Amino acid sequence: MFYYIKMIPDELGRKATPSERMRKMARIAVVAADGKAAKKIIAEAINRGHEVVAFGRHDKNETGAKTYIKKELLSLMKEDLKGFDAVVDAFGAWTPETLPGHSTTLAHLCDILSGTDTRLLIVGGAGSLFVNPEHTAMLSDSPDFPDAFKPVASAMGKALGELRKRQDVKWTYISPAADFQADGARSGKYILAGEEFTLNARGESVISYADYAIAMVDEIEKGGHIRERISVVGA
């Protein structure tokens, strides 16, 4: 499998220059924006000079975005997302009663973005990554895959399978490494891979939320993986 290492030398605190801002600026909506991964993506996008609007369900705006709209994901309408260059779906659910939300929320976003030029980028899961060249076995099928994470992996895998059928939406599904570290350091580099489970040179499958956010915003700015699932792992 071909992959490359992306290097981001600048620290998160550096402000984008006027020329960078003019060259790269996009309007980005982040939905289900109250979570940790969403906040890292918002911070990365703002640091690069993008305009970010956050949609969440909390009363108080703690997302880091200047513009925050309190609205449940399933209540979003076509008009809410009109005019955005990209929509980032950061929905997450872990309890048995909420797991079906992975499918219902993603289907709803696809329906309201159907036929538009707005890109839909999904914060995905690692369990559905393939572990063989034939793409017949997934990471979640492995004997050492933790039982506690199998229901989430199954729900997210089901949602991805449904997403693959949507030829009317410009979607990109981005799977993180197996060890997705909320408080991990921002190294500024990552490996971009495809559908198959990939390890770094140290034999690890790990990435921080901060480095994942770099990959997400890179994909928004210049990625061409339309209707594809890609994956990222810390270099």
Whether the per-residue pLDDT at 182 is higher than 60: the answer is yes
The pTM score is 0.89
Give the Cα separation of 164 and 139 in Å (integer).
18
Among 19-33, 81-95, 121-135, 198-212, name the one with the lowest average pLDDT. Answer: 19-33
Lowest average pLDDT, out of 11-15, 39-43, 143-147, 173-177, goes to 11-15
pLDDT(1) > 80: no
pLDDT at site 22 = 36
CATH number for the domain running over 4-234: 3.40.50.720
